[in-house]
Structure 1
């Protein structure tokens, strides 16, 4: 790397598993706060989801891009599935079973899921391009041996 200071796109250095755990914890916290303010999961959760997706893509180390690249749908599924199991009325009809509540919850928050996923992938793509331009080679790939 040259003597120039690192840009926002180059500063991520957190391990992927830590970023994933933090993202899920933040989403569950946002869901808890959102449900404390209203009876149903709403806009606060959606906005937090998009913000967490963007931030996760910024703070992860380049070797863990894949982990964060697949994180948004899995994190959304985890939060919605947990709510479907413990409080289905917060995301669906109160009489719905866990599977139907999960499907209803995912469909109700599909816009946030798509926007969050696109933002995450866009940030990772920019970071990869900056890494390529700075070093002349793409960001390191995760190998199965390490």
Structure 2
């Protein structure tokens, strides 16, 4: 049988076809939504946000097209910093003590969610590296 008639199915590593700008925009939107939902469900940014953060990092690494890997590769720390900085301005008590200054609240927020940041970033970069090596090895 001809491979033109029956092309092989795409693997998980080949599936990502979304433009980087769209993936990053959706990632930021989902993380901001998760932060708001977490604050509605609890008194501060917590485990729910952390789990969503790691999930968004993995999903973004799998959804993006290969030529836009860089955009998704830099997204996790920037997204975490954005959420923490916004909360340091708007709802300081959700990430630190309410009487902390802006810089102290931002550092406290980042440190409290450092494990999620490390796991999400490592998963994202690891998946992007795997996808890159797979794309480099596949026949054109």
TM-score in terms of structure 1 length: 0.89
Gaps of 5+ in 1: 137-146
Larger-Rg structure: 2
Q: How many residues align?
A: 136
Q: Which runs of 5+ in 2 are unaligned?
A: none
- State the distance in 2 between where 1:97 and 1:62 align: 41
Whole-Å Cα distance in 2 between the matches of residues 5 and 55 of structure 1? Answer: 20
Which residues of 2 match residues 81-120 of structure 1 at below 5 A?
81-120=85-124
Structure 1 CA distance for aligned equivalents of residues 102 and 55 of structure 2: 27
* 1:23 corresponding residue in structure 2: 27
Give the secondary-structure state (helix, strand or coil) at the position aligned to 1:96: coil
Aligned residues: CA RMSD: 1.4
Task: Give the TM-score of the pair, scaled to structure 2.
Answer: 0.93
CA distance in 2 between counterparts of 1:91 and 1:110 reads 12
Aligned-partner Cα distance in 2 for 1:113–1:36? 22
